[in-house]
Amino acid sequence: MSIPWLATNLLAGFLLPPLSLILLIGTGLILLFWRHQTAGRLLIGLGLAGLWLLSLPVVADLLLDSLKPPALDLNGKEADAIVILGAGRQRNAAEYGGDVPSRFTLERLRYGARLAHRFRKPVLVTGGAPEGGQAEARVMAEVLSSDYGIKARWVEDRALNTRDNARYAADTLAQAHIRRIYLVTHAWHLARAVPVFQAAGLQVVPAGTGYAHITDGTPLDYMPHARALLESEVAIHEWIGVYWYKLLS
């Protein structure tokens, strides 16, 4: 397991919901026990309010939409290759007898395969193995071939994060004299991914997936839901990543 990757994700866990909100509430309870009534109640109230708000589908939808650029009408002439970013894998899936793509990775693979069939462009998949075991890119290449009939031309299996994805993909594609790419990832990830790929020297055409709204305009949108809390966590994680990469640039 990569120590830097583990440290980064541990830090993210403390900053993101639900752990950050649980810690806020827990701190408030400790302050109440120490008879700091006002501060304790304030922290508990903030924690509960945050947990409620971030669990609302309407709030999660707004947070994700704040990251998404407009969807482009692609025609196949804008770029010379398709780069699909990994987003994790499920290890030792019993029904498949091995590792399989995570939900987010599979959604990206599906859209990348669609573009590959439409435009007949070569595909690069990128994703390493920060937790050890088989690299994400290897799993992605297997699924592209077996499920979608697409053979990835390049399998970049060293990247541990989005910046690595950009750097290693640019190095690989430079050997084929390719600079213009369709960048396939989730629409909410493009705000973080596009700048680092451009900084790596690539001309990027955003090819986002996952533009569908969570909410459908019913009273249920204002009722807490675990799925909405997950989507809020994803959005906050991306916003933190956007500003962190700006600090590093």
Burial status of residue 140 (CB atoms within 10 A of its CB: 0-12, 13-18, 19 or more):
buried
Q: Is residue 14 pLDDT above 90, yes or no?
A: no
10-14, 55-59, 84-88, 170-174: segment of lowest average pLDDT: 10-14
Q: How far apart are CA 104 and CA 91, in angstroms?
A: 14
Q: For residue 143, what are the CA distances in angstroms to 91, 117, 166, 187? A: 14, 15, 22, 22
32-36, 135-139, 155-159, 202-206: segment of lowest average pLDDT: 32-36
Q: Are 85 and 168 in contact (CB under 8 A)?
A: no
Q: How far apart are CA 244 and CA 179, in angstroms?
A: 25
CA atoms within a 13 Å half-sphere pointing along the CA-CB vector of 244: 14
pLDDT of residue 161: 94
Within 10 angstroms of residue 29's Cβ, the number of other Cβ atoms is 13
pLDDT tens digit string along 24-64?
999 999 999 998 999 999 999 999 999 999 999 999 999 99
The rounded mean pLDDT for the chain is 93
What's the pTM value of the predicted model, to 2 decimals?
A: 0.93
* Preceding omega of 18 cis (within 30 degrees of 0): yes
DSSP bridge pairs for 233: none
| Banded model confidence at residue 216, pLDDT cuts 50, 70, 90 | low
Q: Is residue 91 pLDDT above 70, yes or no?
A: yes
Reported CATH class of domain 81-209: alpha beta
| Banded model confidence at residue 213, pLDDT cuts 50, 70, 90 | low
20-34, 97-111, 213-227, 229-243: segment of lowest average pLDDT: 213-227
Average pLDDT over residues 98-119: 97
Q: Kindly list the domain boundaries of the chain, sorted by start residue.
A: 3-67+223-248, 81-209
Within 10 angstroms of residue 58's Cβ, the number of other Cβ atoms is 17
